[in-house]
A and B are shown apart, each in its own frame.
Chain A
């Protein structure tokens, strides 16, 4: 006889069985597809949001692409990539909290932070918890011994600056140079090394103390005295993409006719909207998307990024690389998946095809000249010139 009690019992048994079957299903799915967590700690809000957002979106685009094609095979296992993100709001204290979160989640490879003080702040946490991190920050102490867990994710200004100044001196007749920087640690340190490089090349530095608040909206008062000095080259040291078009426009409107350059990555659309034709001739450092050098894979990456987020960011031409390096290095040595010491060993000899460039370019770790050990991603040092809404490659350099 079916009574209320037996009905409830049957329902409870049914629910338990369903849950058990579901759990079995999940665990078998997990067995088929392991998860590889890669972290991101950087700035995705506030005035510098563009730096970190282009980072994290590049990672998410590439991860989605890999996952869509079945995941990545490392050793005998296939992994789905899971990007774990943390917005440090450009605050070193939050960057530390972010790195601690990564440690708690068992993440061993983290992209970021985006700025000098954040990258320096997370070092003890990363070293204590066996995390390799890929900052977009330039202090050499992060990459020189005894430090060993940080890997510079891009070309440093002290590597690209001298190359750009030399090129402009030899090809454009630059003799007098002026620097202007935001009053923050990254731009100021970039300015100082830029001044040093310019002096070493025999250029006359006519302005090197001019700075501005990073939240400045009108740069006319800042640039008025500099333009009066008539430099041949105005260097916007460490300029944020949001400020570059405003500085360019103010300089041109004040009648400045010389060259303008920076060693940071910029976005063509931002320059076009903010400075229009005034931005023509502006020189910056890019990555891998100019038509001259971009491979089909890079073009597909740009298309996928645009589809995912509505609009591409040219800063991602450089930031596409970090995740690729992590994955390819793990593929080269699967033991590194939970052991960063193995990763470090592999870095010394690692080499793989660069999927984002035409030809037979390679991914490899560099930095021997600058840091005395291989603690830098070899990304192409593409020096671009902006022209009518797009970047054109001026020259391509490399770092050893």
Chain B
């Protein structure tokens, strides 16, 4: 059981970090970013290229992933989403745009990086094996880094000027604008941060799970699942959703293994019941 809990906590930390960027973009702009998984994949491939192929330090690779995705996110907001939000009165226009960018990224990534699964050398070797728990050291490092990133993100959103402005935007866009918050500027920063988070977590996890060009869609779906559990647009909700999903997976795969692959069936069934009781997820409204 110790191993099951350890697996669940590790998965949870990893999932929470994946969901953060998605929920940030949703909170700020009411955009369901279907390309979140593809951004994660791109971040993974950038780390693969810089660290795995060019042999530069892992930190440099992680920075390259984060910065590249931040720039891509900022450009997407400025030239695509801002324009569509301004011109279209239909909310689904942004969803269609997000879906289109997801397909576009899928195709570009396949062209640039090929169809093969890619991996990089482990950042830390060795396996922890004590008290009934087996955990490779690199997973422990990634788990700790994920928690550090999550904490830094929460603190940044809570106490920095930019964070406060973005929270104000998420709570009430018009009121924030009337109070002097520059909506365009902070929307762009928020989108860039969301994309950067996707890139960083992609770069971080390429050391554990590798990356391939086709996993963007499934990653997005899992991130949506976490956001739905926790409550769309709520940072705490995304974190809670990540840990809940991680723990459910870990426990389900152990307890239900004799019945075949019904873990996700059970998770989806539970989610349907849960959403019918709490349609806004665990934590309700954005930044509440």
Contact = CB atoms under 8 A, between A and B. Distances in A.
Interface of A: 44-50, 53-54, 183, 209-213, 215, 217-218, 220-222, 224-225, 241-243, 245-246, 253-255, 267, 269-270, 273-276, 310-311, 313
Contacts of A54: 115
A244 B133 CA distance: 24
Contacts of B11: 218, 221
Given A224-B253, A276-B122, 14 more contacts: A46-B106, A46-B217, A47-B218, A49-B115, A53-B114, A209-B258, A209-B260, A221-B7, A221-B8, A242-B210, A273-B120, A274-B119, A276-B121, A310-B114
A211 B110 contact: no
B7 A253 contact: no
Interface in B169-220: 205, 208-210, 212-215, 217-219
B215 A49 contact: no
Given A48-B214, A49-B213, A274-B210, A218 B14 contact: yes
Interface in B106-159: 106-107, 110, 114-122, 127, 129, 134, 136, 139
A220 B139 CA distance: 11
Which of A209, A218, A255 has the most CB atoms of chain B within a 10 A radius of its CB? A218
A44 B115 CA distance: 8
A364 B69 CA distance: 52
B83 interface: no
B215 A47 contact: yes
Nearest to B7: A221
A49 B214 contact: yes
B257 interface: yes
Contacts of A242: 116-117, 210, 212, 214-215
B253 A222 contact: yes
Residue among A49, A217, A270, A313 with max Cβ neighbours from chain B (10 Å) = A217
Given A183-B261, A255-B129, A255-B134, A53 B115 contact: yes
Contact of A217 (B118, B209, B253): B209
B231 interface: no
Nearest to A273: B119
A246 B115 contact: no
Classify the interface of chain B: helix, strand, loop or mixed: helix
Contacts of B210: 242, 245-246, 273-274
B52 interface: yes
Given A45-B214, A218-B11, A254-B134, A211 B261 contact: yes
Nearest to A269: B116
A222 to B, nearest CB: 5
Nearest to A311: B114
Contacts, number: 115
A253 B218 contact: no
Interface residues of B, number: 46
Contacts of B10: 218, 220
A260 B218 CA distance: 27
Given A47-B218, A209-B257, A221 B4 contact: yes
A210 B256 CA distance: 9
A241 B260 contact: no
10 contacts: A47-B215, A210-B257, A221-B8, A221-B11, A222-B253, A246-B117, A270-B117, A273-B117, A274-B118, A311-B116
Contact of B249 (A47, A53, A183, A221): A221
Contact of A45 (B110, B127, B208, B264): B110
Interface centre among B14, B117, B120, B219 (most CB of A within 10 A): B117
Contacts of B249: 221
A209 B259 contact: yes
A273 B52 contact: yes
Contacts of A46: 106, 214, 217
A195 to B, nearest CB: 13
Given A217-B205, A224-B3, A50 B119 contact: no
Contacts of A211: 260-261
Nearest to B208: A218
A270 B116 contact: yes
A184 to B, nearest CB: 10
Contacts of B121: 276
B122 A50 contact: no
A213 B54 CA distance: 33
A333 to B, nearest CB: 35
A221 B258 contact: no
A261 to B, nearest CB: 19
A254 B133 CA distance: 9
Nearest to B221: A215
B34 to A, nearest CB: 15
B38 interface: no
Contacts of B127: 253, 255
Contact of A218 (B119, B209, B258): B209
A183 B260 contact: yes
Nearest to A207: B257
A53 B110 CA distance: 11
B119 A224 contact: no
A241 B116 contact: yes
Contacts of B47: none
Contact of A221 (B122, B139, B253): B253
B94 interface: no
A218 B146 CA distance: 15
A-B pairs, 3 with minimum CB distance? A215-B218, A47-B214, A211-B261
A51 B215 CA distance: 15
A50 to B, nearest CB: 5
Nearest to B126: A253
A35 to B, nearest CB: 27
Given A213-B261, A255-B134, A221 B250 contact: yes
B116 A313 contact: yes
